[in-house]
Amino acid sequence: MTTYNIGYFVGSLSTRSINRTLSKALIKLAPETLKFTEIPIRDLPLYNYDFDASFPPEGTALKQAIEAADGLLFISPEYNRSIPGALKNAIDWGSRPWGTNSFARKPSAIIGASVGAIGTAVMQSSMRSVLSFLDAPQLNSPEAYIAFNADFYDADGNVSDESTAKFLRHYMSEFAAFVERVLDANAAGHIGDRDPAG
Ligand code: FNR
């Protein structure tokens, strides 16, 4: 059985984060081929390019964690119809110094929970733009906009509502298949790598 290492980001720093609860549920419901490691964002300084000359250990650790992962999962709230600052800051760190973008060709997926009805749809749209610019292939379907119902989850991420559990299980199984497809494609190279005569 081939296993894949998934680095995951939780976009909320709150101790009461519903997105952290969602991350626990997703890990529990994922296929056993996926192994999860959180990529922490809390202690990163605010990025600016003065750091490029000498990256702090937090920035280097973040880039190494992204590069070591086979795939990336972003589980995030929507703040003011966009990406929470802490998560955007982490992405900026991972994208730099120029020429060392750690996200390139990394299979990625975005999911988020909100107390609002549209379930982080606008944040996810912003994230798609950012990750596209960073050349990270993204799971397009299924989309997962979670209007969070606290009654469906316990603190450990057990999901009592069967239709929610089924949807999240399906999402993670599609993500696993997507990671495998992108890694296969990466291993096969891309058009620019091919010998035109071949
Ligand atoms: C929010 N919230 C929110 N919800 C939403 O659906 N769309 C939005 O644009 C916003 N904007 C927003 C801004 C800020 C600064 C805060 C603190 C909150 C509400 C948000 O969905 C709710 O607080 C969630 O509980 C946040 O997720 P975590 O932090 O609990 O994982």
The radius of gyration of the chain's CA atoms, rounded to the nearest angstrom, is: 17
Give the strands of the sheet with 108-114, arranged side by side.
Answer: 34-38, 4-10, 71-75, 108-114, 145-147
Task: Determine if ligand 1 sits within 6 Å of the CB of residue 125.
Answer: no
pLDDT of 198 reads 42
Mean confidence (pLDDT) of the chain: 96
* Percentage above 70 pLDDT, the chain: 95
Task: Determine if ligand 1 sits within 6 Å of the CB of residue 17.
Answer: yes
Rounded Cα gap, residues 84 and 12, in angstroms = 7
pLDDT of 74 reads 99
Q: What is the mean pLDDT of residues 136-159?
A: 98
pLDDT of 190 reads 63
pLDDT of 192 reads 58
Q: Can you tell me which atom of ligand 1 is nearest the CA of 82? A: 9
Task: Determine if ligand 1 sits within 6 Å of the CB of residue 170.
Answer: no
Rounded Cα gap, residues 122 and 76, in angstroms = 11
pTM, full prediction: 0.96
Q: What is the mean pLDDT of residues 68-88?
A: 98
pLDDT beyond 80 at 191 = no
Rounded Cα gap, residues 35 and 31, in angstroms = 9
Model confidence at 184, pLDDT cuts 50, 70, 90, reads very high
pLDDT of 195 reads 53
Interval 14-73: pLDDT, tens: 999 999 999 999 999 999 999 999 999 999 999 999 999 999 999 999 999 999 999 999
Rounded Cα gap, residues 83 and 167, in angstroms = 24
Task: Determine if ligand 1 sits within 6 Å of the CB of residue 119.
Answer: no
Interval 108-140: pLDDT, tens: 999 999 999 999 999 999 999 999 999 999 999
